[in-house]
Amino acid sequence: MNEELIKLLLGVAAIVITVLIMYIRSGSRKSLYNFILSGLINFWDKVVKLLFIVAIIWFSIRLAAYFLRRIL
């Protein structure tokens, strides 16, 4: 139990330190809250676009397979 708690705390500390270093290096005049929020919004925007592209490709393959089965 203690080992898992230590690993969790080390992981959280690593994430917090990484975010703080990125915030300091960016030199932005935004608050830390706005910096994190804008980063999350940009990340989710990329994730949603990727999922949309994957869905389009998946439906295209299914549609092509359906038409090929009908033709052949």
Read off the pLDDT of residues 6-54 as tens digits, 9 standing for 90 and up: 999 999 999 999 988 988 888 878 888 888 888 889 999 999 999 999 9
Whether 41 and 59 map to the same domain: the answer is yes
**Cβ pair 32, 23 in contact under 8 A:** yes
**Cβ pair 61, 53 in contact under 8 A:** no
Whether 24 and 40 map to the same domain: the answer is no
Q: Angle 32-71/2-26 helices, nearest 10 degrees?
A: 100
Helices (H), 1-72: 2-26, 32-71
In the prediction, which pLDDT does 1 show? 67
- CA 42 to CA 30: how far, in whole Å? 15
In the prediction, which pLDDT does 17 show? 93
Whether 19 and 8 map to the same domain: the answer is yes
Against a cut of 0.75, is the pTM above it? no
In the prediction, which pLDDT does 65 show? 93
